[in-house]
Amino acid sequence: MTEMPVQSPWFVVILAGAVLGIFVGLTGTGGAFIIPALVYGFGMTQIRAQGTALFIAASPVWIVPMIPYARAKHVDWRIGILIAVGLALGSYFGAQWAQTLPVATVRKGFALVLLGLALKMFFQR
């Protein structure tokens, strides 16, 4: 299936990024908002949206919303660095695996992870 992404003016894309940024700053997560926005708002496939979200995450943009958390001493630097090392190793292999799976399988897996986390958080005291 050939992908035909939505061609949006630059200011619309920046506005979408700003709105997504509010949610990122409020929740501390990006992929849960960015990937659906790329799929449904910009017409990307699940795999392309994940790759684009990873490109965004690779940029230093995530430092900006981290600043208020760091100032309030709500960052555990040691755990963050150690998890980042493990994340770098594991995510490479996960990304390789995603390239071999059908897009529908990846999309449904993503949805199930989000649903499971949402239910756990919703019913947690």
How is the chain split into domains, by residue range? Answer: 10-123
Cα(20)–Cα(38) distance, integer angstroms: 11
Retrieve residue 110's tokens.
Answer: 């993503």
- What is the model's pLDDT at position 5? 64
Which of 124, 117, 120 shows the shortest CA–CA distance to 29? 117
pLDDT averaged per 10 residues, the chain (length 125) = 72 91 81 90 92 90 92 95 90 92 92 91 90
Cα(31)–Cα(114) distance, integer angstroms: 10
| pTM score | 0.77
- What is the model's pLDDT at position 3? 65
- What is the model's pLDDT at position 45? 92
Number of CB atoms found within 10 A of residue 119's CB: 10
DSSP 10-77: HHHHHHHHHHHHHHHHHHS-SHHHHHHIIIIIH---HHHHHHHHHHHHHSGGGHHHHHHHHHTT---H
- What is the model's pLDDT at position 4? 64
Cα(28)–Cα(44) distance, integer angstroms: 23
- What is the model's pLDDT at position 121? 87
Cα(52)–Cα(46) distance, integer angstroms: 10
Cα(58)–Cα(51) distance, integer angstroms: 10
